[in-house]
Structure 1
Amino acid sequence: MPVSLSLAMIVKNEAQVLGRILSQVKHLCDELVIVDTGSTDGTQALAESFGARVFCFEWIDDFAAARNHAFSHCSSDWILWLDADDLINESHQQKLLDLKHSGLNAEIDAVICSYQIAFDGQGECLISMPRERLLRRAAGGSWQFPIHEAFVLPDEARVLNRLDIAVEHHKPAQYVERSSDRNLKMLMRLIEQGDQSPRNWYYYGKELRQHNRPEEAIEAFQQHLRLNQTEPISQYQALHLAMLCCMELHRYPEALSLGYQAIQINGSRAEALLNLGIIHYRHQDFNIAIPLLNAATTCQKPDAGLIVEEDYSWKPYHYLSLCYEGLGQPANAIEAALKAYPDIPDKQVIRENIICFAGKLK
């Protein structure tokens, strides 16, 4: 039996994109709840034209507060949250509709879906992360953290993983710089006020790295690690991101140290294994690189944290092929290159490498 479903969304000056997502989910939802934080471009009228109930909320530099306000106006059994610049393609709309009709009940409190946040020129996903996407209203929980907010469920919550359902985030180009600067300024203000939240220091490091400030980012990640004693996922990701910053600065011994610390925390993820292998490959330590890269090829895509798709597909095989070529093992190099070929965007590179490797076969 189908449950009722509310859409909850917070917006500000989203007239350029709002109609796209509302047209995609209107048939899925029994009510559309839009909280506007100060639009001046006709966003409210556009939302109302789709039958949405629009509520105003004074912006207080707190995304969690705005989202909680939106949730407070929802009356359905379940709540689907989205951003105005998200989209859901037809096949995933159908999966959500099927889930609504037969997969949601009082035995489940939340549904985790894939959130795809970066794409290549052909529209293929480059980066994704699991996110709580559908939430049972009666189960409780709330949005927390003013920036990079997250929905915190009760400890006993029962969660259904449906990573086969994806929401795509397509931010218009002119929005990217605006939101990026906003996020960095919000986090800087919190840090300057003496904030000691491990989560905020982690995201502060990410924003600094995105703003090409790797040395400051490393310091922020190190502060996160000093403060975070209980969350291995963010410990791993902070170590790996600090490792990437050190690679960008050509501080390879420090990068290696951070990478090996990361795989001590979690050796079942591909990212640190891959980049350790890349560093050793660049230093022609092929016999050290190959076991690390082979280990990366065996890693299954995780159900938590940020996921760079290439780390779990073609990239470890590509560097394996280069390592085998460096050891004078062209047959192994060709075998690894062929495994990279189906997923690598630039197939010409692999074709040229295979021709080169084949020329060295006895």
Structure 2
Amino acid sequence: MIVKNEAASIGRCLDSVKNIVNEIVIVDTGSSDNTLEICKTFDAQVFSFPWNDSFAEARNFGLNHARGDWIMWLDADEQCTISDLKAFSEQLKQETELIYAVHLVNYIGKDTNPDHAFHITQPRLIRNHRGFKFINRIHETFDLTNAAPYLLNQNIPVISAVFHHYGYMDDVIYAKNKVHRNIALLQREISDQTHSPWMEYHLAVEYARLQYYEESFKFVNLSIARFVESQLMPPSLLYRLKYSVLIASGNLQPAQEGIEKALLLYPDYIDLHFYKALILYLMNQFDEALEQFEHCLAIGDQITSHLSLKGTGSFQAWYYKGLCYEQLGCPDKAADAYQKAADLSCGYEPAINALKKRHSDSATNRLFSDLLL
């Protein structure tokens, strides 16, 4: 791990792995709070590394101090949960595997609500002493080119572990000014002509967070183009961002025209199917939207290599079915859909509010009827 002033979260993180790992290697880049004191209570080895605006170099410094057969990397604002430690250990004994991904849950919003989270699988465990290094100044990732080139265009096997990431919840982003920090580092990164096309994508994400949709759209398209120029398939989450930006900025016609092409590339990506349905709904094509939301439910929520928002194949699709039924003059079907959305979620507010409004309207109508009588 690399840390700096993480006293608020580091204890929670290390407590989650203390019975899983054999050693804890901490690279500190200049903490001034009691982060290091907390780390030492977990018998962590702490090393200092002068911050040079490169997360990859700090991570690689830490790799040099790790002695175990396998290395798991985390951030201080994460927790690891493993429901079956025996199965986890058995997977690490597979001699043919060099790298594993985990199920990563990225929480967003004001509180830790499982309904407000993005899900994806992400490489987080590597076999030590096999040439793995981190690349990219920010949003660092493993360089597979030398260590495992055969995995460049393949799905990485998933191990039975879940990482919970809290670093992009509203209070954390505000407290650390993450967006502007990230933009500055990303702009430095893309000034290098040999940079990864991922950097334009990450820059587009940060601009989208600021609701600078024109800039976000420009950079996500640049990212797609640079992947193509590199003779690589643009990853699916680039198209998710592209169409979310078009929807958020009200450019529905080009979104409708383009999303079919994205679905040809990634026909199993539930979020793209959901966006197709949402575009139809926003364009007042309610019958077509209803059919598409039903298709989303048929696909269901899936944890895959695609970045997916919780509920696009379940409670969110049911909620929008309710909205469609409202517009089509079917209030009873709408109420049933809202109830289904509420039942499948952990208190999905839009559905609950829709049910409350319906009950309130019904009570008001009964009152008017009594007065007329």
Please indicate the TM-score interval, normalised by the length of the shorter structure.
0.7 to 0.9
Tell me, yes or no, if the aligned pair for 1:331 and 1:357 is still in contact at 8 Å.
no
Tell me, yes or no, if the aligned pair for 1:240 and 1:259 is still in contact at 8 Å.
no
Partner SS for 1:108: coil
In the other structure, the counterpart of 2:368 is none
The offset of 1:209, in angstroms, is 0.7
Of 145, 148, 155, 2:149 maps to 155
Query: Is 2:166 the counterpart of 1:170?
Result: yes
Tell which deviates more after alignment, 61-70 or 334-343: 334-343
Tell which deviates more after alignment, 254-263 or 170-179: 170-179
Residues 194 and 136 (structure 1), Cα distance of their counterparts in 2 relative to 1, 3 Å cut: closer
In the other structure, the counterpart of 1:54 is 46
Partner SS for 1:298: helix
Tell me, yes or no, if the aligned pair for 2:227 and 2:234 is still in contact at 8 Å.
no
Query: Is 2:14 the counterpart of 1:26?
Result: no
Counterparts of 1:193-212 in structure 2, within 5 Å, are: 194=193, 197-212=196-211
Whole-Å Cα distance in 1 between the matches of residues 75 and 90 of structure 2? 25
Code of the residue aligned with 2:49 in structure 1: it is: F
In the other structure, the counterpart of 2:216 is 217
Residues 357 and 334 (structure 1), Cα distance of their counterparts in 2 relative to 1, 3 Å cut: farther
Query: Is 2:121 the counterpart of 1:130?
Result: yes
Whole-Å Cα distance in 2 between the matches of residues 261 and 101 of structure 1? 42
Query: Is 2:243 the counterpart of 1:243?
Result: yes
Whole-Å Cα distance in 1 between the matches of residues 40 and 250 of structure 2? 53
Counterparts of 1:1-362 in structure 2, within 5 Å, are: 9-88=1-80, 92-95=81-84, 97-105=85-93, 106-119=95-108, 121=111, 123-125=113-115, 126-153=117-144, 154-156=148-150, 159-162=156-159, 165-171=161-167, 173-174=171-172, 176=174, 177-192=176-191, 194=193, 197-229=196-228, 230-232=231-233, 234=235, 236-300=236-300, 301-329=302-330, 333=334, 336-344=337-345, 345-346=348-349, 347-352=351-356
Whole-Å Cα distance in 1 between the matches of residues 191 and 317 of structure 2? 40
Tell me, yes or no, if the aligned pair for 2:119 and 2:308 is still in contact at 8 Å.
yes
Q: What does the per-residue CA deviation read over 1:256-296, in whole Å, with 9 as the maximum and x for residues that have no partner? A: 23322321221221222212222222232123223322222
Code of the residue aligned with 1:340 in structure 2: it is: A
Tell me, yes or no, if the aligned pair for 1:80 and 1:134 is still in contact at 8 Å.
yes
Residues 254 and 111 (structure 1), Cα distance of their counterparts in 2 relative to 1, 3 Å cut: same
Whole-Å Cα distance in 1 between the matches of residues 303 and 68 of structure 2? 31
Residues 288 and 116 (structure 1), Cα distance of their counterparts in 2 relative to 1, 3 Å cut: same
The offset of 1:195, in angstroms, is 6.0
The offset of 1:208, in angstroms, is 0.9
5+ long unaligned stretches in structure 2: 364-373
- TM-score, normalization by structure 1: 0.84
Tell which deviates more after alignment, 22-31 or 169-178: 169-178
Whole-Å Cα distance in 2 between the matches of residues 265 and 305 of structure 1? 12
- TM-score, normalization by structure 2: 0.82
Code of the residue aligned with 1:188 in structure 2: it is: Q
Tell me, yes or no, if the aligned pair for 2:103 and 2:158 is still in contact at 8 Å.
no
Tell me, yes or no, if the aligned pair for 2:278 and 2:289 is still in contact at 8 Å.
yes
Partner SS for 1:312: coil
Whole-Å Cα distance in 2 between the matches of residues 20 and 326 of structure 1? 47
The offset of 1:183, in angstroms, is 0.9
The offset of 1:192, in angstroms, is 4.4
Whole-Å Cα distance in 1 between the matches of residues 99 and 79 of structure 2? 20
Which protein is richer in strand relative to its size?
1
In the other structure, the counterpart of 1:4 is none
Code of the residue aligned with 1:51 in structure 2: it is: D
The offset of 1:333, in angstroms, is 4.2
